Chain A
């Protein structure tokens, strides 16, 4: 509590500076949450514009060109700038606590990862004000992207390149944190499921982002620096982009959905008041999904003409993924089975997730059948499918996780009543929007069209879909109201506000002190905190060490400057090809110089951190477990 008390005393400028320079994983989590939440709203507004345009046939609410931009930016924003950062918010807030660590392995890089994502996202969205947003779809297929006029696609390639670098850094950071920073006794097979899924998702990031990086570089080089990777008349080949994009793109789905699975696993166990059924099977299934995730990307390319053999191989591999996923679904069902269930808001999201995600999974297996995919490809059936996976899986997890971890992150409890209203509105709106789209697809409506002719049997379904979207928007508005009211009321909660917490994060105050654990805990089994509670340990933890000095890293502004340098350089690169201005090349050089200079400053200046002394820790007082 002392940290919040200090924050309230501090002026706005000091607080801002604190967040610009922070290397504390809990504050970085808040940064991710706020900026990811902002981009989620931006992407949501774009979605509403899409549904308004398509509500009635032959609508002229937006023009075809603007529609292409909105549709492209909706997908890009939601995947790269909303879903991923929001998951990173929970990973940052929770994973170090779950493994009993004082921070992540590389606090400095953690901050750098965030600021790269942030500047990349801002750069991408500035396209709206600088001549138009990208309009080649979120997949940005090269044949279309190369031909796209203006600078939209350049914003896409450069912006994603910058934020992608941030994601890669964050992935490596979580991997090393989980490998090296686990508290004594925390073996791999005692790690909470959310930590496990973060671990596997980070491994996927490590291997999936380099192909995207290369693909984006090819696009940048082709569009801005005279290369010919995709220029067919110069010997180039646009299929290369499709492969690179999907070698990244399919694992990306698992990068998003595995942490979502992790959040749901925590929710099921907590609110069924039961340990997870088949923990080791869940772990194994997670690893298997991670592995298969790399072997199936070409199911996005069945209609490209890869040949029957390739299609068959990738079809079979894709169907195989349903097996470990099914294992997970049954494990969750059996966790609930016979549990003492509490129908809290997070649990409602988790219960709603199972049928929604199963529907998305089943349509996925349908598309794995290559011949059927020839019919379904590029129709609204696909749109319905991946929204069932992404919204029904990931967004429900984000909303459920937000309610679950809000008290741990901010020390207050979101209103359960408003939370349940949010759930009802959002869940109903989601199914109303997307269930009907399966039928639109089967009736032949292609995706990515800016309007359609009436009386083809599509009018009513599109209207229903648009009305559903309005309900989702109402749900999100209720959530915002909930957040504002909760923050104004500011009723503080204790260590374990849900009263059934099982893992280490619930054993320490909400929000935790900046050093997390006064004494490093000793982990004696899966669901550490639960074990201690059951044994009547009032401290909630067994300690691995006596109270002693704690080493902490220093704050630093360098990550911010380093990322800002790339942001500046991106403008130089973007306008270089115009050839009518003198400034792009100097700006490019200046930006890179800022980045390289701050890198050199970082390595020349020793950053050894500081110590919190034992006496001060004791003075801060109270029992570690007490509030």
Chain B
């Protein structure tokens, strides 16, 4: 029945290929990590350097958004296939999250 899983032995060539793919991906993820550390450093430096809040706040928010994208697509594998539906729902959650945030900084008697 559908619950039984067919397992198949890969040929040596297939195995080597899959292994190379995984290692490539891993190298990409390490590069992603380096980029994330860099973005974090930029954000902290921007704040520590005491620039005007007008520039700093949008910049660090943007950096955070980029970092989240990196986490999602590289660390959480959202770019692999089979992620369409889950990611669609995740973005649905983000849209509602965004609406709530906008509301709470605008129309709450502050």
Residue of B nearest to A251 (CB): B96
Verify if B9 is at the interface (C-beta below 8 Å from A): no
Q: Is the CB of A206 within 8 A of B89?
A: yes
Across the interface, do B109 and A243 meet the contact criterion of CB distance under 8 Å? Answer: no
Residues B100 and A247 in contact, CB atoms below 8 Å apart = yes
Additional A-B contact list (10), CB under 8 Å, known A310-B106, A310-B107: A175-B89, A206-B93, A239-B108, A239-B109, A240-B104, A294-B99, A295-B99, A306-B107, A307-B107, A550-B1
22-62 of chain B: CB within 8 A of chain A? none
B110–A237 touching, CB < 8 Å: yes
Tell me whether A207 and B92 are in contact (CB under 8 A): yes
Partner of A551, one of B1, B108, B109, B110: B1
Residues of A within 8 A of B85 (CB): 179
Give the distance in Å from the alpha carbon of A179 to the alpha carbon of B83 in the complex. 12
Which of A203, A240, A294, A295 touches B108 (beta carbons < 8 Å)?
Answer: A240
Q: Does A211 contact B (CB under 8 A)?
A: yes
Which residues of A, 474-498, contact B by the 8 Å Cβ criterion? none
Interface string of A107-129 (1 = CB under 8 A from B): 00000000000000000000000
- List A contacts of B108 (CB < 8 A): 237, 239-240, 243
Report how far A445 CA is from B88 CA in the complex, Å: 46
Decide yes or no whether B7 CB sits under 8 A from chain A: no
User: In this assembly, does A378 line the interface, its C-beta being within 8 Å of a C-beta of chain B?
Assistant: no
Q: Provide 13 A-B residue pairs closer than 8 Å at the C-beta atoms, listed in order of the A residue.
A: A203-B89, A203-B92, A206-B89, A207-B93, A207-B96, A237-B108, A237-B109, A237-B110, A239-B108, A239-B109, A243-B103, A294-B99, A550-B1
Is B3 interfacial (CB 8 A cutoff)? yes
Residue contact B109 to A305, C-beta cutoff 8 Å: yes
Chain A residues with CB under 8 A of B104: 240, 243
Within 8 A of B (CB), among A168-209: 175, 179, 203, 206-207
Interface string of B85-99 (1 = CB under 8 A from A): 100010011001001
Q: Taking the complex as formed, is A18 at the interface, i.e. its CB lies under 8 A from any CB of chain B?
A: no
Most buried by B among A207, A310, A520: A207
Taking CB atoms, residues of chain B closer than 8 Å to A545 are 1
Residue among B92, B93, B107 having the largest count of chain A Cβ atoms under 10 Å: B107
Chain B residues whose C-beta falls within 8 Å of the C-beta of A247 in the assembled complex:
100
Size category of the binding interface on chain A = 20 to 34
- Cα-based distance from A551 to B107 in the complex (angstroms): 53
**A98 vs chain B, min Cβ distance (A):** 18
Tally chain B residues at the interface, Cβ within 8 Å.
Answer: 17
Option from A207, A306, A549 in Cβ contact (under 8 Å) with B1: A549
> Which chain A positions have C-beta within 8 A of B103?
243, 298
User: Least Cβ distance of B58 to chain A in Å?
Assistant: 23
Q: Kindly report which residue of chain B lies nearest to residue A549, judged by CB atoms.
A: B1
| CB contact list, A299-323 vs B, under 8 A | 305-307, 310
In this assembly, does A149 line the interface, its C-beta being within 8 Å of a C-beta of chain B?
A: no
CA of A237 to CA of B109, assembled, Å: 8
Q: B95 CB to closest chain A CB, in angstroms?
A: 8
A612 to chain B, nearest CB (A): 10
Distance, CA A243 to CA B110, complexed state (A): 14
Tell me the complex Cα distance, A243–B109, Å: 12
Ranked nearest first, the 6 interchain pairs of A and B with the lowest CB-CB distance are: A551-B3, A306-B107, A310-B107, A207-B96, A239-B108, A239-B109
Cα(A298)–Cα(B102), bound, Å: 13
Q: How far is the CB of B103 from chain A (nearest CB, A)?
A: 6
Q: What CA separation (Å) do A343 and B103 show in the bound complex? A: 48
B1 near A294 (CB under 8 angstroms)? no
Residues of A within 8 A of B93 (CB): 206-207
- A294's nearest neighbour on chain B, judged by CB, is B96
What's the Cα separation between A203 and B85 when bound, in Å?
12
Within 8 A of B (CB), among A222-253: 237, 239-240, 243, 247
The reply to whether the CB of A548 lies closer than 8 angstroms to some CB of chain B is yes
Q: How far is the CA of A239 from the CA of B110 in the complex (A)?
A: 10
Residues of B with C-beta under 8 A to A179: 85
Q: Which residues of B contact A240 (CB under 8 A)?
A: 104, 108
From residue 135 to 187 of chain A, which have CB atoms closer than 8 A to chain B? 175, 179
B67 CB to closest chain A CB, in angstroms?
23
Interfacial residues of chain A within 80-108, with CB under 8 A of chain B in the complex = none
Report Cα–Cα, A295/B108, bound state, in Å. 16
Closest to B106 in A: A310
Known: A207-B93, A548-B1, A549-B1. A298 touches B107 (CB 8 A): yes
Q: Closest CB of chain B to A608's CB: distance in Å?
A: 10
Query: A203–B103 Cα gap in the complex (Å)?
Result: 21
A239–B96 Cα distance when bound, in Å, is 19
Give the residues in chain B near A550, CB-CB below 8 Å: 1
Note all chain B residues with C-beta closer than 8 A to A306.
107
Give A314 Cβ to nearest chain B Cβ, in Å.
Answer: 10
For A243, the chain B residues whose CB sits under 8 A away are 100, 103-104, 108
**Residues in chain B near residue A310, CB distance under 8 A:** 106-107
Once bound together, how far apart are the Cα atoms of A305 and B110, in whole Å?
12
A305 surroundings in chain B (CB, below 8 A) = 109
- Residues from chain B with a CB closer than 8 A to the CB of A549 are 1
| C-alpha spacing A243/B104, complex, angstroms | 8
The distance in angstroms between the C-alpha atoms of A247 and B1, with both chains bound, is: 43
CB distance from A614 to the nearest CB of B (A): 10
Per-position binary interface string of chain A over residues 532-570, scored 1 when its CB falls under 8 Å from any chain B CB and 0 otherwise? 000000000000010011110000000000000000000
